[in-house]
Amino acid sequence: MTKKKTTKKAIRKEIYVIAIMFAMVFIAMIVYLSYYVKEGAKDFIYNSYNSRFSAFSDDVTRGSIYTGDGHIIAKTSYDDSKQEIRVYPDERLFSHAVGYVDQGMAGLEAYYSFDLLKSHISLKDQINNNLSGKKSPGDDLYTTFDYETQVAAYEGMGMYDGAVIAIEPSTGKVVAMVSKPDYDPNTIATYWDDINSESNNKSVLLNRATQGAYPPGSTFKIVTTIAYLRANDGNSDFSYNCNGSLKVGDFTIHCSSNKSHGSENLLKAFSNSCNSAFAYMGINLDKDEFSETAEELLFNDTLPTQIEATKASNFSLENSDEKLVGQTSIGQGNTTVSPLHMCMLVSAIANDGELMEPYYADKLVSAEGDIVSQTDEKSYGQIMSDSEVDLLNEYMEAVVMDGTADSVDFGDLKVYGKTGTAEYTTNKSMTHSWFVGYAIDNTGKELAIAVIMEGAGYGSKHAAPLAAKVFNAYFQ
């Protein structure tokens, strides 16, 4: 009897434990499902290689994508057999920004797929559409791009590979973003194999504006200058006598064309883009302090931006000998940047040291014209002090007035900039052409820009004149 009782008790206990386990599994499933519905579904759709998810839906017609000034850059249309297709009227013009929906998804098409397939027309109309077997129109995405500015940036790149990104400093709005080589999103499925073939080693799908990892060359002197100022409590006293090169052990760092710049202060060294002076300056900085400044300027970290899939820039002086520190100080050693990052730095200079987080998706609007959601401008905070900004403005103005970019015609605009000519192979005659800076017109409107043209040569000859074209298109 006692034994039987104990067994019964044990069984009851077992049932009780199993019941609790079932309940826990059940709760876990509910939690997971509700999480999935809220968050996971979006990730699932964002995953560009998820072939199970279609760009089109049975109930909603995928919404359109527009520039900020109302130019349509992606829309849903129909092929001969009345099947929905996605059409990009400007073909390659916005390729990396807008992305594609065939062969998985990329760009804004991928990140906003979930939203473009949602309809926010009135519930009554949605139900009516549903009952009559019609699809409801999906929400439209308005970007921050300015059509003519994008055209100028795109056409200005000409035959070169590289990137242009232009940002409104006071808001963080991305006004233009070009990456080349590019693709036509209308025909990407047809050319997919070719684009991804081993013989095509140009990384066509890579958005160089946000994911490119380039040697910054002399545009990095902006960072070295700030590191110098921070190491000297903001004091800009500096003097250097340039004879065209600097010997570091058995290695020689040359100024461009071996030009002797003579006696220079910080302003002159910056506007002449004197490699010897900046290598000397960097070598004499405390490595930890230099690294700290680079990190305060967003190196080695995720960039604070609302643009998806951006790449962190890197900077390291660890295990660097003097020769390498000297090279890194002029943007040639242990550092790479994305054009987006360089544009963010000059954008902060233009905006009195305050960095506004870049974004390119402005708002979602229902087919009935109601704003469904809008991106808020977001400040990352001050990344430079007032006195640093004042000095950099002075130096960057000197670059354009009587420095390396003085031959560039910027018209009536006030322009502040830095050129760069970055070596990327051991062949010193192969160089990327850089320009970073910003322009302001007589109404106070501003635009920051970063331009890199791969293998094009001097920054002053190619990238700076392209920046001038983009400024002209934006301010006209």
β-strand pairing of 60-61 with 136-137 = parallel
Contact (CB, 8 A) for 87 and 76: yes
- Chain positions 239 to 258 lying near Zn ion, rule: CB under 5 A, are 242, 255
- What DSSP letter does each residue of 291-342 carry, written as one string? HHHHHHTTTTS----SSSS----EE--TT--HHHHHHHHTTSSSEEB-HHHH
Tell me the window of 37-45, 246-254, 275-283, 455-463 that interacts with Zn ion (CB under 5 A): 275-283
Instruction: Give me the least distance between CB of 399 and Zn ion, in Å please.
Output: 14
Phi, psi of 385 (to 5 degrees): -80, 165
Q: Which has the closest alpha carbon to 217: 300, 309, 116, 328?
A: 328
Q: Which is nearer to Zn ion, 129 or 273 (CB)?
A: 273
Contact (CB, 8 A) for 357 and 305: yes
Q: Which is nearer to Zn ion, 76 or 329 (CB)?
A: 329
Instruction: Give me the least distance between CB of 258 and Zn ion, in Å please.
Output: 9
**Measured in Å, how far apart are the chain's first and last C-alpha atoms?**
99
Instruction: Give me the least distance between CB of 240 and Zn ion, in Å please.
Output: 8
**100 pairs with which residues across the strands?**
106
Q: Which is nearer to Zn ion, 47 or 245 (CB)?
A: 245
Q: Which is nearer to Zn ion, 268 or 311 (CB)?
A: 268
Q: Which is nearer to Zn ion, 257 or 443 (CB)?
A: 257
| Rounded-to-integer distance, Cα 109 and Cα 73, Å | 11
| Rounded-to-integer distance, Cα 323 and Cα 309, Å | 34
- Chain positions 214 to 243 lying near Zn ion, rule: CB under 5 A, are 242
Tell me the window of 106-114, 210-218, 259-267, 461-469 that interacts with Zn ion (CB under 5 A): 259-267
Number of residues counted as binding Zn ion (CB under 5 A): 5
Instruction: Give me the least distance between CB of 221 and Zn ion, in Å please.
Output: 12
Q: Which is nearer to Zn ion, 257 or 442 (CB)?
A: 257
Which residues have CB under 8 Å from 57's CB, separation 6+? 117, 135
Tell me the window of 15-23, 65-73, 202-210, 273-281 that interacts with Zn ion (CB under 5 A): 273-281
Select the residue interacting with Zn ion from 45, 73, 223, 274 (CB under 5 A).
274
Instruction: Give me the least distance between CB of 301 and Zn ion, in Å please.
Output: 32
Q: Does 276 bind Zn ion (CB under 5 A)?
A: yes
Instruction: Give me the least distance between CB of 244 and Zn ion, in Å please.
Output: 6
Q: Does 281 bind Zn ion (CB under 5 A)?
A: no
Q: Which is nearer to Zn ion, 88 or 240 (CB)?
A: 240
Instruction: Give me the least distance between CB of 275 and Zn ion, in Å please.
Output: 6
Instruction: Give me the least distance between CB of 161 and Zn ion, in Å please.
Output: 30
Instruction: Give me the least distance between CB of 198 and Zn ion, in Å please.
Output: 43
Q: Which is nearer to Zn ion, 101 or 255 (CB)?
A: 255
- Spell out, one character per residue from 26 to 65, where the chain touches Zn ion: x when CB under 5 A holds, - when not: ----------------------------------------
Pull the structure tokens for residue 435: 């320009």
**423 pairs with which residues across the strands?**
431
β-strand pairing of 371-374 with 361-365 = antiparallel
CB atoms within 10 A of CB 170: 17
Q: Which is nearer to Zn ion, 48 or 256 (CB)?
A: 256
Tell me the window of 95-103, 194-202, 224-232, 276-284 that interacts with Zn ion (CB under 5 A): 276-284
CA angle (470 as vertex; 374, 472 as ends), nearest 5 = 105
Instruction: Give me the least distance between CB of 255 and Zn ion, in Å please.
Output: 3
Select the residue interacting with Zn ion from 118, 173, 208, 261 (CB under 5 A).
261
| Rounded-to-integer distance, Cα 120 and Cα 4, Å | 65
| Rounded-to-integer distance, Cα 1 and Cα 106, Å | 72
Q: Does 307 bind Zn ion (CB under 5 A)?
A: no
Instruction: Give me the least distance between CB of 242 and Zn ion, in Å please.
Output: 3
User: Per DSSP, which regions of 31-173 are E strands?
Assistant: 60-61, 65-66, 72-78, 84-87, 136-137, 140-143, 162-167
Taken in order 289, 294, 299, 305, the sign of the CA dihedral is positive
Q: Which is nearer to Zn ion, 242 or 405 (CB)?
A: 242
CB atoms within 10 A of CB 169: 23
Interacting residues toward Zn ion by CB under 5 A: 242, 255, 261, 274, 276
